[in-house]
Amino acid sequence: MYSRQVEVLNATGLHARPAARFVRAAKQFSSSIEIRKTESSRGVNAKSIARLLTEAITQGTVVEISAVGTDEREAVDHLVELIGSFDY
C-alpha cells in the first residue's frame, strides 16, 4: 500500500467537474484506490463518482489518497498532482 496526503486548494473543492476528472484518472489504473478526508476514519472508492461526491470535499480539506496494486505509487502520485492542478 502507498498513500499520500494533499490539501484541496480549489475554491469550489471537488465538485462535479473536478470530481469527474479525478474519477476518470483513477480508472486508468489497475490498483484499488481510496480517498478519505484525514479527519475521517473511512475511505471511499476513488473510482466511484457517487462515492466521491458524497464526501463533500471542500477547499482546505486535507485528503489522503491510498492505493494497493501493481501501479499503486504511480496512481497515487498522479492523483495528488491532479488535485493540485484544479484551478476552476
**pLDDT tens-place string over residues 13-48:** 999 999 999 999 999 999 999 999 999 889 999 999
> Global pTM?
0.93
Exposed e or buried b per residue across 34-57, where buried means at least 16 C-beta atoms within 10 angstroms of its C-beta:
bbbbeeeeebbebbebebbbebeb
Parent domain of 55: 2-85
| Position 88 pLDDT exceeds 90 | no
By residue count, the chain amounts to: 88
Q: In the predicted model, what is the mean pLDDT of the chain?
A: 95
Contacts of 80 (CB under 8 A, 6+ apart): 4, 6, 65
Which of 2, 4, 9, 15 is catalytic? The answer is: 15
Opening angle at CA 20, ends 11 and 43, nearest 5: 85
Contacts of 48 (CB under 8 A, 6+ apart): 23
pLDDT, position 41: 82
Q: Decide if 78 is catalytic.
A: no
Q: The domain spanning residue 30 has which CATH number? A: 3.30.1340.10
The domain tally of the chain equals 1
